[in-house]
Structure 1
Amino acid sequence: MSIAADGPGQSLQEVVVSASRSEQSVMDTAASIDVVNARQIHDGTAEQNMSEPLARTPGIFALNRQNYAQDLLISSRGFGANSAFGARGIKIFVDGIPGTAADGQGQISHIDLASADHIEVMRGPFSVLYGNSAGGVINVFTENGKPGAEVMPYFSSGSFGQRKYGVKIDGDENGINYLLDAGALHTDGYREHSAADRNNENAKLRFKLTPDTSVTVVANRVHLTALDPLGLTAAQLQTNPRGAGTGADAFATRKSVDQTQVGVTLNQRISATDSLTFTPYGGERKTTQFLASAVNGVINLKRDFFGMDSKWLHAANVGGMPLKLVAGVDANENRDHRLTYSNVGGQQRVAPTDQDYSMEARNLDFYLQGELHPTDRLAFTAGVRQSEITLSADSNNNLASLGSRTYQAVTGMISAQYYVQENANVYVSYGAGFDTPTLNQIIYSPSYVTSGGTNTGNMKLNAARTKQVEIGYKSEISKTALVKIALFHAETTDDIVLAASNGGKSSYMNAPKTRRDGLELSTQVNLPYNLQANVSYTLLDAKVAQTYAQTVTNPATNASTSYSVASGRRIPGVPDQGLFAELVWRKPDNSLELAVEGRAAGSIVANDVNKAYAGGYGLMNLRAVFRQAVGKWTISEFARVDNLFDHSYVGSVIVNQANSQFYESAPGRNWLAGLSASYRF
C-alpha cells in the first residue's frame, strides 16, 4: 500500500514502520501510527527541539517551554500532561534504545534531530504492549550512511542570539555503514535568564558479521547548561512576558546535564521464517539543578542505567492463513544517587547535605504478540505482556529505608482490521495498560511535604490502570491522498496526581478516576502544480471523572489551602484541541521549496482545580529552502519566519506551580536562517 509522499506532484510512497514490533505498512497496522520523514524533520527547520517535528502528529502535544533547563511538556492523548519534568506516560526510544527509565520517567535532551532519519509516533491501545508508561510510543531513528563517503558542515543563526553549528560525516564503504554527527547550540533565550548551551554527539555504526548476522552500534552524548527563567504569574505575564519569574535571579536558577549512553543491536536471521534480535544498552546521566528555594534548593542527581530487549520473530502459515509472532523479554534498571543542598544566593552550600537518597527502579517483562490474516481483507492482532516493576528508596542521612514496592500487571490488547476496499480499511482495538509512579513521585510522603518532620516516603502510591478503545479509518485515494481518522476513549483508575505541594517538594496521590475522549484526523494530499497539503487535527476532552481533594502550601507564607478537584474538571497541561496545516510548493528538481504553515491550539488549564488557564492561539509561519549542486558539492540554504503576525501567547504552563507562576510565554515574530554544504568523495 502506498501511503506517504516524498514530494508534491508525486504518487504517495509506502511507509513501513516497526512500532508494532514487526515491520509493516502504516496502512496495514490497526493502530494510530504516524511517521515524520527526513524531509519534514530537516528542510527549513531549526532541528533544535522535538516540538518541531511532533507538531505534525495528531494526538501528540509537545509544548515548547522556551526553557532548556526543563524538557518539553509532551503528552499523548492527554497522558503525561501533568508531568513535573521530563516526559511521563510515553515510551521514548532512539534507535531502539530506551530514553525512558524503568520507572517510566523519560528524557529527550539526548535526541539529535540533525542526524534523525525519521520519527515513528504511535498512540492508543497498541502502545500498552510496550509496558509501563505506554500512553504512546515515540521512536527516533538515526540516518544510515549513504554510499561512498560524505562530509557536511552546517550552520544556522536567528533571533535571540540563537546559533547552531556542527558537522556530519557518513558513508557506506567496504561493508561498513557509519554516521557521526557533532553539533553545538547556543541561545541567549527569548526570556530573561534563559540562555543555554547544548552539545550533542551522535554515532551509528552498522556491519555484518555473516550474511545472516548484522550488528548496529549506537552511541550518543549530551552536555547541557541552561539558565532557568521559571514561570510567570498572570500579573507578570501581562507586565513583562519576556521577564524571568520571581526567584530566578536571587537563587540563580539553572541546570546542567551530562549524559552518555551506548547500545548494540544484534540481528540474527535463523531461517526464512525466524530471526532473533538482542539489544543491550547502558549509560549514565549527571544532573545538577538550582531551584528557587533555599532548603533543598540544589539537587545533584547521578543515574546509572542499563538494560536489554531480546525478541524472536516468526512467520508461519496456519491453515492457509499467514501468521506473524513476536515473543520477547525486556529488562531495565536505573540506580540513582540524589543529594540535595541548600541554595545560598545561587551558591551551593557544600555541607551538610539536606537530603541523601539512594533509589532504584527495575523491571522484568515478558511479551507475546501475534497477527493473523484469515483472508486478504481481514486481520486480527493480539498481544499480552507480563510486567514486574520494583521501586525502592533509602535515606542515607538517617540510615533508614523509605521502603520498596513491587508492581505486577498483565496487560494486553486486541484488534481487528477489515479492508472495505483495496485501499481503505476500518479497525477497532482495545487495550489495558498501567503506569507506575516514578521515583520522583514516591520520594516524599504527603505529611512531610505539608508539615515537615520525618520523611517516610510514599510507597502506598498505586499504579494507574487504563482501559482504552479506538475505532479508526484509513483510506488512500487515487494514490495522491491519504486520510486517517481515529476516535478514542480511555478510562483510568488510580491516576497519579498532585496531593500536596510546598516550595520545591511535591507529593502525589491516586485520583479515583479520570477519562480521555478524542478525535484525531490527518490528511496528506498531492495537488496539481507541484503542491502538497498536510493537515492534522486533534480534539481532546480529558477530564476528572470522580472528585478528589488536594493541598497546596504557599512557600512564602507557609499557609496551606485544601481544594476539591471536582468531577468534570479538565486535566491540566494539555490543550483541548490542536491543528497543524501546511501547504508546500516544491520545484520538480528540488532546487526550491516554499511553504506556509499554520498552527493553532485551544486553551490549556494550569492547575487541577482549573482556576488558572492560558487561552488558545493561532500562528502562521513561512519557510523557503534553496538547493544547488556544484560538482561534488550540494549546497542548501533556508530561511524561515515564525509567528508572522507577532501574536502574543503562552506556549506552555507549569502544572500546579505552588507560587502561581504557571505561565511560560512564547516568542513573537522571530526568524532563523541556515546553510549546509555537503561534499561527496
Structure 2
Amino acid sequence: MYLTSLLAFQFAYAKEPEYEAPPLDEVVISVSGYEQKILDTAASVNVVTSSQIHNGQAEDNLSEPLNRVPGIFALNRQNYAQDLQISSRGFGANSTFGTRGIRLYVDNIPGTVADGQGQISHIDLPSTERIEVIRGPFSVLYGNSSGGVISVFSEDGGPKNNIQPYFELGSYSQRKAGIKASGLYKNTNYLFDVGDFHTDGYRVHSAADRFNANSKIKFRPVSDSVITFVANNVNLSAQDPLGLTAAQLAANPKQAGNNAISQNTRKTVLQTQTGFTIDTRIDQKNQLLFTPYYGQRHVTQFLAATNNGVIDLKRDFYGMDSKWIHKDQLIGMPLTFVGGVDFNENDDQRQTYQNNGGIQGALGQTYRMSAKNFDQYAHIDWRLLERLALNFGARNSQTNLSSISNNPSLNNTSSGSHAYQALTSMVSLQYYLSEVSNVYVSYGSSFDTPTLNQVTYNSSFTGSNFGLNAATTKQVEIGFKSKLSKSAQIILALFNANTSNDIVVGASSLGRTSFTNAPKTNRQGIEASAQFILPHQFELNMAYTLLNATVKEAYLNNNAYVLSGNRIPGVPNQGLFSELLWVKPNKSIEAAVEARVNGSMAVNDINSPSMATGYAVLNLRTMFRQEIAGGWSLSQFFRINNILNRSYVGSVIVNQTSSQFYEPAPTRNWLVGAKANYQF
C-alpha cells in the first residue's frame, strides 16, 4: 500500500540528483486573475502539469489529474450518467447533480452557472495544458463557493503546426479515437480537438458514448490586445446502473440496481458553450479583461420512478466578467489591485413525464426556472515589507432563484422565489522566511446558495423547497511553502471551516433528491503535497489529505436525528496519492507506479449502516516515444489499474432511501493507447 513511499526513503539520503524538478519558485498561475508564482500566493494552490495530465493517462475523466491534488476528492462513480463526485475539503460531497461548492472554469469561461451548480462533461482532457486548483479562504474571491476553484486551461498552439491522431483500447470494450490540430497561422494561434469515447462499463447497464470537441483561437488585433476565442461541445449518452444495497454488493458488484433495467434508467446530454476574452494592456500599470460567454444544455434523464420519472431539461446560460488590474507601488512597495463585476444567468425549462418501462409517457409537470447573480469584487495584494505581504479581498454577491410551475394540480406549491445577498471577504498575511520559503495565515467568510436542482423538491417530493437557506462558512488556514533544496519542494496547510445552515441531502428516492439545512457543521484537516527528485532519473510525487468533516449541532432529518459528532457522508476521512516515476534521460521511456489510498466514508447522515470501507489500489503504467524522420513522432502507453485486483466501493449515493448506497469500482483492468504527431 505504501510501496512508493517506502521507495522514497531508500533514495532519500543517496547522492545529489542528476537533474532538477520544475522549481516551486518558478511555477506561475493565472487563476487568481493575474499571473503570479505559487510561492507568492497566500493560499493552498496546486498545478497539475501537462505531462501529469497526458503521459500514460486515459485522459477520460477529470478524476485522473485531480487525484494528485491534496484536499480534493474526485470520486469516479463508474457511471457516466452521473457526474464525478468532486469535493474540496469536504465541500460539495453531497451534490447529486453536477458539482457544487466549487467554482469551475475552462479557459476563463465559467463551468459553474449562476446558482452555483457546475458541469464538467465538456472538459476535454486531450487538449488540456494545465489545471490550477485553489482551496480555502482565497476561493471566497470567486463568489458562490466555499470549497475552492478548479480552473482548466487548454493548450496554446505552438510556433509550428501539429496534427496528432490518437486512440485507446481497454477493458470493458473501452475505446477512444480522436485527432488534435494546433499551431500558428500568420498571427493566429489555434487549437482544435475532437474525440469519440465508448465503454460498455464495468457494471451491467453502464454503457456510455461521449463525443467531445474543443477549440481555442488566440490572436492579437493590435499590439496591446489579445483576443482568445473558445468553444466546446459535448454529446453524451449513458446508461445509469444506479446504486447497490450491501447485500447486492456482496452478491455481485457488477449487477445493476433495482429497477435500472426495467425502467431503462439512462441520460443524454447535449451541450455547446462559447465565449471569448479580450485582454487589453492600457499601459505598464493597467490591464483590462472582458469575458462574455453563452451556452445551451439539453438533458434528458430516465429515473427509476414511474411518476415524473423522465426529466427533460433545456438550459440557456450566459454572462460576463469584466475586471481591471492595476499594478503600482504604495509607500515604495509593490501593490496589485484587481476590481471587477460579474454577471451570470441561467434560464431552465424543465418538464417531467411518466417513465413507462423506459418509454416516455404522459406529461407530468412543467417548470420555468431561473437563476441570476450580480457580483462586485475587489482584491489587493500588497508587499508591506521586504518579507511581509498582505492580501485583502471582498465580494458583494446577489443571487435570485425563481420557479414558475404550470401545474394547477399542485396548487402552485412548485412556484416561488428567493433572493440571497452576502458580503464575503478574505484577508491573509504572508511572511517570507527566505526567497524560496514562506508561511502564511488567512481567514475568509463565504456563502453557498442552493442550486435550482436543490430547491426543486421538498421533503415529501410534492413541491418546491424555497425555504432552503444559503450556507455561510467562516474558515481559517495556516500554510507553509518551501523549495527545500534543488531536489525537494513541499506545500503544507492546516485548515478549519465552520458552516452554518449547511445544505445537506434530506432524502433520495428513485433518482430524486430533496435537501435541507444542517444547523452547524465543521471541516478541519491537513493537506500536504511534495515533490522529490531522486538519483537515477527517479521522481516522487505525493499528496496527502487528512479530513475530519462532522456535524456540530444535532438536527432532525427525514424523521431521524442526526447527532452531533456524526461524520458528513460522502467524504473520505483521508486520502493519499503517491507516484514513483522513472524517466530515461532522453525521455524515450518512462514508467511509474501509482498508489491511491482513500479512507472510509459514511453513506448517510445518521452514519448507519456501517461506513463504506477505505481502500488502497496500485496502478502501473509505461510510455514509449520515438522520433521519426520527416517531422513524425510516435508514442505508446500501457497501464494496468488496480493491479492487486482489489474489490472496493469507489463512491456512495448519500442518503439513498432504499439503502442502495454503494457504487462499486472496477477490479483489475487495462488500457493501451498510441499517438502520432506530424509537425510541419
Which residue in 1 is equivalent to 2:105?
93
- Report deviation, 1:424: 1.1
Structure 1: distance between partners of 2:581 and 2:477:
31
- Report deviation, 1:506: 3.0
> In the alignment, is the contact (CA less than 8 A) between 1:329 and 1:364 conserved in 2?
yes
Which of residues 421, 424, 429 in structure 2 aligns to 1:416?
A: 429
The SS at the match of 2:179 is strand
Which residue in 1 is equivalent to 2:553?
546
> In the alignment, is the contact (CA less than 8 A) between 1:8 and 1:586 conserved in 2?
no
Q: Say whether 1:628 aligns with 2:626.
A: yes
Which residue in 1 is equivalent to 2:645?
646
State the one-letter code of the partner of 1:73. Q
- Report deviation, 1:651: 0.6
Which residue in 2 is equivalent to 1:128?
140
Measured against aligned partners, the alpha-carbon deviations of 1:407-434 in whole angstroms (never above 9, x if no partner) come to 0000010001101122211000000000
- Report deviation, 1:22: 1.9
State the one-letter code of the partner of 1:485. L
Structure 1: distance between partners of 2:334 and 2:571:
41
Which of residues 482, 497, 506 in structure 2 aligns to 1:499?
A: 506
Which residue in 2 is equivalent to 1:237?
249
Which residue in 1 is equivalent to 2:665?
666
State the one-letter code of the partner of 1:391. L
Which of residues 41, 46, 57 in structure 1 aligns to 2:53?
A: 41
Q: Across the two proteins, how many residue pairs are aligned to each other?
A: 657
1:267-278 equivalences in 2 (<5 Å):
267-278=279-290
Q: Say whether 1:264 aligns with 2:263.
A: no
- Report deviation, 1:501: 4.3
Which residue in 1 is equivalent to 2:607?
610
State the one-letter code of the partner of 1:62. A
1:296-375 equivalences in 2 (<5 Å):
296-349=308-361, 351=362, 353-375=363-385
Measured against aligned partners, the alpha-carbon deviations of 1:215-257 in whole angstroms (never above 9, x if no partner) come to 0000000000000000000000000001111111100000000
Which residue in 2 is equivalent to 1:428?
441
Which residue in 1 is equivalent to 2:578?
581
Structure 2: distance between partners of 1:621 and 1:505:
35
Which of residues 439, 450, 459 in structure 1 aligns to 2:452?
A: 439
Which residue in 1 is equivalent to 2:9?
none
- Report deviation, 1:146: 1.0
> In the alignment, is the contact (CA less than 8 A) between 2:303 and 2:510 conserved in 1?
no
> In the alignment, is the contact (CA less than 8 A) between 1:8 and 1:585 conserved in 2?
no
- Report deviation, 1:375: 1.9
State the one-letter code of the partner of 1:191. R
> In the alignment, is the contact (CA less than 8 A) between 2:173 and 2:198 conserved in 1?
yes
Which is worse superposed, 426-435 or 19-28? Answer: 19-28
Q: Say whether 1:594 aligns with 2:601.
A: no
> In the alignment, is the contact (CA less than 8 A) between 2:275 and 2:291 conserved in 1?
yes
Structure 1: distance between partners of 2:665 and 2:21:
38
Structure 1: distance between partners of 2:507 and 2:164:
51
Structure 1: distance between partners of 2:424 and 2:399:
13
Structure 1: distance between partners of 2:198 and 2:21:
40
TM-score, normalised with respect to structure 1: 0.95
Measured against aligned partners, the alpha-carbon deviations of 1:479-534 in whole angstroms (never above 9, x if no partner) come to 22111110000000011123344444332221110000000011001111111000
Measured against aligned partners, the alpha-carbon deviations of 1:368-402 in whole angstroms (never above 9, x if no partner) come to 00011022211110000000000000101229471
State the one-letter code of the partner of 1:383. G
Which residue in 1 is equivalent to 2:536?
529
Measured against aligned partners, the alpha-carbon deviations of 1:257-283 in whole angstroms (never above 9, x if no partner) come to 000000110011101000100000001
Which of residues 437, 447, 461 in structure 1 aligns to 2:468?
A: 461
- Report deviation, 1:172: 1.1
Q: Say whether 1:20 aligns with 2:48.
A: no
Structure 1: distance between partners of 2:442 and 2:517:
27
- Report deviation, 1:12: 2.9
Which is worse superposed, 21-30 or 280-289? Answer: 21-30
TM-score, normalised with respect to structure 2: 0.95
The SS at the match of 1:564 is strand
Which residue in 2 is equivalent to 1:513?
520
State the one-letter code of the partner of 2:456. I
Measured against aligned partners, the alpha-carbon deviations of 1:303-328 in whole angstroms (never above 9, x if no partner) come to 00000000000001111011100000
> In the alignment, is the contact (CA less than 8 A) between 1:12 and 1:479 conserved in 2?
no
State the one-letter code of the partner of 1:593. E
| Compared CA separation, residues 190 and 42, structure 1 to 2 (3 A) | same
Unaligned 5+ runs, structure 2: 1-16
> In the alignment, is the contact (CA less than 8 A) between 2:538 and 2:583 conserved in 1?
yes
The SS at the match of 1:127 is helix
Which of residues 83, 94, 117 in structure 2 aligns to 1:82?
A: 94
Percent pairwise identity:
57
Structure 1: distance between partners of 2:584 and 2:666:
31
Which residue in 2 is equivalent to 1:559?
none
Which residue in 1 is equivalent to 2:405?
395
State the one-letter code of the partner of 2:22. L
Structure 2: distance between partners of 1:532 and 1:8:
11
The SS at the match of 2:444 is strand
Which residue in 2 is equivalent to 1:473?
480
Measured against aligned partners, the alpha-carbon deviations of 1:273-306 in whole angstroms (never above 9, x if no partner) come to 0010000000100000000010011000000000
The SS at the match of 2:139 is helix
- Report deviation, 1:460: 1.7
Which residue in 1 is equivalent to 2:389?
379
- Report deviation, 1:134: 3.8
- Report deviation, 1:643: 0.5
State the one-letter code of the partner of 2:158. K
> In the alignment, is the contact (CA less than 8 A) between 1:8 and 1:584 conserved in 2?
no
Structure 2: distance between partners of 1:582 and 1:662:
31
Structure 2: distance between partners of 1:66 and 1:372:
46
Structure 1: distance between partners of 2:518 and 2:102:
19
1:175-194 equivalences in 2 (<5 Å):
175-194=187-206
Which is worse superposed, 502-511 or 667-676? Answer: 502-511
Q: Say whether 1:29 aligns with 2:41.
A: yes
Which residue in 2 is equivalent to 1:619?
617
> In the alignment, is the contact (CA less than 8 A) between 2:97 and 2:453 conserved in 1?
no
Structure 2: distance between partners of 1:175 and 1:501:
54
State the one-letter code of the partner of 2:249. L
Which residue in 2 is equivalent to 1:657?
656
Which residue in 2 is equivalent to 1:678?
677
Which residue in 1 is equivalent to 2:13?
none
Structure 1: distance between partners of 2:126 and 2:303:
31
Pairwise CA RMSD of aligned residues?
1.2
Which residue in 2 is equivalent to 1:566?
563
The SS at the match of 1:517 is strand
The SS at the match of 1:236 is helix
| Compared CA separation, residues 434 and 238, structure 1 to 2 (3 A) | same
State the one-letter code of the partner of 1:397. N
